[in-house]
Amino acid sequence: MLQIKDLSGGFEGTDIIKGISLNINAGEIHAIMGPNGSGKSTLSKILAGHPAYQASAGTVNYNGKNLLDMDPEERALQGVFLGFQYPVEIPGVNNAEFLRMAYNAQLVHQGKEEVDPLDFDEILDEKMEFIGMDAKYKNRFLNDGFSGGEKKKNEILQMAVLQPKLAILDETDSGLDIDALKTVAAGVNRMFNDSMGLLIITHYQRLLEHIKPHS
How many Cβ atoms sit within 10 Å of the Cβ of residue 117? 10
Residue 118: Cβ-neighbour burial (10 angstroms; 0-12, 13-18, 19+): exposed
DSSP string, 161-213: HH--SEEEEESTTTT--HHHHHHHHHHHHHH--TT-EEEEEES-HHHHHHS--
Task: Find the binding residues for ligand ADP in span 98-157 (CB under 6 A).
Answer: none
> Does residue 9 interact with ligand ADP by CB under 6 A?
no
* Candidate residues 39, 41, 200, 211; the one interacting with Mg ion per rule CB under 5 A: 41
# binding residues, ligand ADP (CB under 6 A):
10
For residue 135, what is the DSSP state?
G
* Beta sheet of 166-170, edge-to-edge order: 29-33, 197-202, 166-170, 80-83
Quick one: which segment of 21-29, 34-42, 70-78, 95-103 binds ligand ADP (CB under 6 A)?
34-42
* Beta pairing partners, 54: 10
In whole angstroms, how close is the CB of 182 to Mg ion at the nearest point? 22
- Residue whose C-alpha is closest to residue 62's, from 54, 53, 72, 52: 72
Residue 63's binding partner out of Mg ion, ligand ADP, none, with CB under 5 to 8 Å set by partner kind: none
By beta-carbon proximity to Mg ion, the closer residue of 85 and 143 is 85
In whole angstroms, how close is the CB of 202 to ligand ADP at the nearest point? 10
> Does residue 41 interact with ligand ADP by CB under 6 A?
yes
- Contact indicator for 153, 186 with CB cutoff of 8 Å: no
By beta-carbon proximity to Mg ion, the closer residue of 40 and 100 is 40
- Contact indicator for 12, 195 with CB cutoff of 8 Å: no
> Does residue 196 interact with ligand ADP by CB under 6 A?
no
By beta-carbon proximity to Mg ion, the closer residue of 32 and 99 is 32
> Does residue 95 interact with Mg ion by CB under 5 A?
no
> Does residue 202 interact with ligand ADP by CB under 6 A?
no
* Candidate residues 1, 2, 40, 133; the one interacting with ligand ADP per rule CB under 6 A: 40
User: Which residues here bind ligand ADP, judged by CB under 6 A?
Assistant: 11, 16, 34, 36-42
